[in-house]
A and B are shown apart, each in its own frame.
Chain A
């Protein structure tokens, strides 16, 4: 591993060790720093938010899609309510754009042996009212039914097959990786230490209690461990003998469209109502929604996979998405497709969250099976886990010196011209646009590289600044960003990676393959 990727010396002892730098691990770590600064987060990848947290649809669900009585629904409904307070001071925007559930003609096919009046009564009244009642029962506030006309007024691009709808105003969007990064940084501001490129290889357990975490870079003595290892949570739990559950990876692919073309194409999240029998897989069926940054996204799919690293997208999935949404949004702008991504969910066989202190190993807390609505549930999960940690000995007294603010670096594209000029006068790098599609300046890239959780590769810079995220997908800026990374990290450009070890962007310098050697 190159020197710039190597984390600093691990501490020999820590009050709490969180395994996994995803949104759940970082939420728990940040919440823990309200009570103690003695917190360590271990992440095997070169950045936080590198697993499920970087490749989901950014949805802060309300809980309407979950089965009644599940832990998932309970934590989702509560998490959604907690969100505004949870993100306050982080510099990450939560948009509550709402969810529009569209009831369409195909929800109940015509040949169902029912009179047309009965059918329409179901579609336009009973189903919408049923959804509202179901949501109210789960504690979701503000749900309301919509007529066909109201659906079109709200979302003019929705299919004319729509007959009614339900609007769920609490439904929101937040950039999952920006949130994770902000939580990690906020934890660090309050004393936590985050170690990247650090893999947990085992635990020392003595007398039925956890004593230490063993990593590829050394051992940390601790009596409190939170296992928030996402798709690897079962393997991590088994290392301690605290397992007993299986994560079976399920991937989901999403298509992403150019935000210049699709801004306002849908304003809320739009999903189609399907009867349980009409769903093909264990998932809520996905939808069409803007991203936190305004791109239209369609998806996700839900496909069981063998490999926990399988973030590939198949031709069939792309086809499936196009087919499904062609019905809901008949003329969505296919040509504006700029990207597709795939993430791996971490469901257990029971399909519910597994959160609790291990009975076999004292001090070991599993936070596993966190799939959608994990992002929405994160505040409530963290709250629940903190309760468990307090019982296991984490200080209960809030710290008076807890800093509630994580300063977010300025974004050139969001500033007024006066503010831009003030910054450019301070440092001309604010006036050097590196990514033309997303209007990202050199200074933003430099800031990302030198931030609290430093961005040391192309994707890490991209997640913080949006370089390469636009319609040209880095064609214009990739070599510029690579050059800045090389300069700031003091490494040759050929050592710059896309996302950590094994992913070099360039394989050689000019003339190198001809035996010409370095200049």
Chain B
């Protein structure tokens, strides 16, 4: 309803990524930072993550999700960052024009000098993992159930089966149990848990909830409300073995079957995405392929720890500030591609543009491995090397390296995990 505003930086999403990025941009010298959030309050997913386990790296303290969020919210409120709540971004163009709406301002347009994407991720649904059966009430994703129980005060079910042993699924097993519901069991298609061991122990073992590895749900029964699910063991090809099928009565099926970076706006703006992460391809400042658009947190790739989200957010916020303050004076240099080497599923950032500065590489392994060594190689020269007793896909690994210190190049950066004995 008003003229087009031109803030120095607009951050989309006020979860841990957006909060961290807005603060970092402000602290790096931008006076006009605007934070857009579609919910009625700040914090993103954190306010519903009432369990503890957050912040051991950033704050060297174990906090609950709301506590972690509160620290950033308090800082954002003091920092003089303009916050727009109940605000939905309708469109983002590659020239950084944003159209958004909220009940107070109506539809409004922004043309910021920089944008930080911090939209987080969404949950994979039943159809994306193709669970056959009926479509009754009572099939719900774990994160949605978490919001219902912890924020809205509503119980999605009384007797639940959980499919998927990702961290949210494990945490919801405990949460449902503590709130007086019954969890019949957690079923995991892989032969190893999807979540952290800490959560397997403290959420399942502590409450005698069985974890059925190499199992899946093959049918949802109930026309109006879930009445039962059929579960089955899976073979090595992950296909259900029909003769192992068993009907489990329940009124709810909770799904914890993966997260997808929420990049619909990124696609609109023409931001290049990495098929391996589902998020934007970024350089070491979290700059995407589109000039002036940065990204951080789970919109880039799904992290296991909020502390890593905060770290990428601070990098993105600083990157955006630097971009705005240096506007026009420096052209983006050529980029060196970061290669995901042996037993590395993906690496973020995917590009290194200014090798003279240190870079933190985040990556996940493809398969568990004992006695491994994680390495960063620049044109074959080892710049980072660390022994790990064990590496597992659920746990993201961070490797800090300084490609600028390499003797030559850099022309190629490789992140890899090698077996200890391969090395000598």
Say yes or no for B156: interface residue by CB 8 A criterion: yes
Whether a CB of chain A sits under 8 angstroms from the CB of B27 is: no
CB-defined contacts of B136 to chain A, threshold 8 Å: 498, 503
B133: A residues at CB distance < 8 A: 312-313
Q: Which residue of B lies closest to A318 (CB)?
A: B130
A504: Cβ under 8 A from any B Cβ = yes
Q: Is the CB of A476 within 8 A of B127?
A: no
Q: Which of B86, B106, B156 contacts A507 (CB 8 A)?
A: B156
- What is the chain B residue whose CB lies nearest that of A510? B153
Once A436-B38, A479-B152, A479-B154 are accepted as A-B contacts, the answer to whether A337 and B128 lie under 8 Å apart by CB is yes
Report whether B107 and A260 are in contact in the complex, using a CB–CB cutoff of 8 Å: no
- The 8 A CB mask of A476-519 against B (1 = contact, 0 = none) is 10110011000000000110011111111111111111110000
- In the complex, A471→B264 CA distance in Å? 10
Q: Are A420 and B106 in contact (CB under 8 A)?
A: yes
Residues from chain A with Cβ under 8 Å of B418 in the complex: none
B contact residues around A313 at 8 Å (CB):
132-133
Q: Is A424 an interface residue (CB 8 A)?
A: yes
A12 interface hit (Cβ, 8 Å):
no
Stretch in contact with the other chain, from A100-108, A181-189, A358-366, A427-435: A427-435
Q: Is B90 within 8 A of A510, CB to CB? A: no
Task: Evaluate contact between A432 and B86: CB separation under 8 angstroms.
Answer: yes
**What residues of chain A lie closer than 8 Å to B158, measured between beta carbons?**
507-508, 513
> CA separation between A225 and B149, bound complex, in Å?
49
**B181-A513 in contact (CB<8A):** yes
Q: B88 at interface (Cβ–Cβ under 8 A)?
A: yes
Residues in B whose Cβ lies below 8 Å from that of A417 = 99, 107
Q: When the two chains form the complex, which single residue of A337, A472, A502 contacts B225, counting CB atoms closer than 8 Å?
A: A502
Could you tell me how many residues of chain B have their Cβ less than 8 Å away from some Cβ of chain A? 53
Q: Give 1 or 0 for each of B130-146: 1 = CB within 8 Å of chain A CB.
A: 10111111001101100
- Interface digits, B144-165 against A, CB 8 Å rule (1 contact, 0 not)? 1001110011111110000000
Segment of A84-92, A153-161, A338-346, A347-355 in the binding face: A338-346
Contact A475 B264 (CB under 8 A): no
User: Are A340 and B154 in contact, CB atoms less than 8 angstroms apart?
Assistant: no
A471→B122 contact, CB < 8 A: yes
Which of chain A's residues has its CB closest to B141's CB?
A: A475
Question: Could you give, for residues 14-31 of chain B, a 1 whenever the CB lies within 8 Å of some chain A CB and a 0 otherwise?
Answer: 000000000000000000
User: What are the residues of chain B within 8 A of A476 when measuring CB–CB?
Assistant: 122, 144
For A339, A471, A509, the residue with the greatest tally of chain B CB atoms inside 10 Å of its CB is A471
Q: Quick check: is A201 within 8 A (CB to CB) of the other chain?
A: no
Tell whether, in the assembled complex, residue A509 and residue B125 are in contact, meaning their CB atoms are under 8 Å apart.
no
Which of A433, A475, A483, A503 touches B137 (beta carbons < 8 Å)? A503
Q: Which A residues are CB-close (under 8 A) to B156? A: 505-507
- Contact A475/B149 with A431-B106, A433-B101 known, Cβ cut-off 8 Å: no
| Bound form: Cα–Cα A472–B107 in Å | 24
| Inter-chain contacts of B366 with A (CB < 8 A) | none
CB-based contact B224/A498 at 8 Å: yes
B103, A424: Cβ atoms under 8 Å? yes
Q: Which residues of B contact A471 (CB under 8 A)?
A: 122, 264
Within 8 Å of chain B (Cβ to Cβ): is A447?
Answer: no
Instruction: Assess whether B247 is interfacial by the CB under 8 Å rule.
Output: no
Which of B127, B137, B141, B264 is close to A505, meaning CB atoms less than 8 Å apart? B137
Asked whether any CB of chain A lies closer than 8 Å to the CB of B123, the reply is yes
Nearest-neighbor residue (CB-CB) of A312 within chain B: B134
Q: Report if A425 contacts B (CB, 8 A).
A: yes
A493 touching B88 by the CB < 8 A rule? no
- Please list 28 pairs of residues, one from A and one from B, whose beta carbons are closer than 8 Å in the complex, sorted by A's number: A260-B267, A311-B223, A315-B218, A338-B128, A340-B130, A421-B106, A424-B106, A425-B1, A431-B107, A432-B86, A437-B264, A439-B88, A473-B126, A473-B127, A474-B144, A479-B144, A483-B152, A497-B137, A498-B137, A504-B137, A504-B225, A506-B156, A508-B158, A510-B153, A511-B153, A511-B179, A512-B180, A515-B180
Which residues on B are within 8 Å of A, measured CB to CB? Answer: 1, 38, 86, 88, 90, 99, 101-107, 122-123, 125-128, 130, 132-137, 140-141, 143-144, 147-149, 152-158, 179-181, 218-219, 223-225, 240, 251-252, 264, 267
Top 7 nearest A-B pairs (CB, nearest first) are: A513-B180, A510-B153, A428-B103, A498-B137, A433-B88, A431-B103, A502-B224
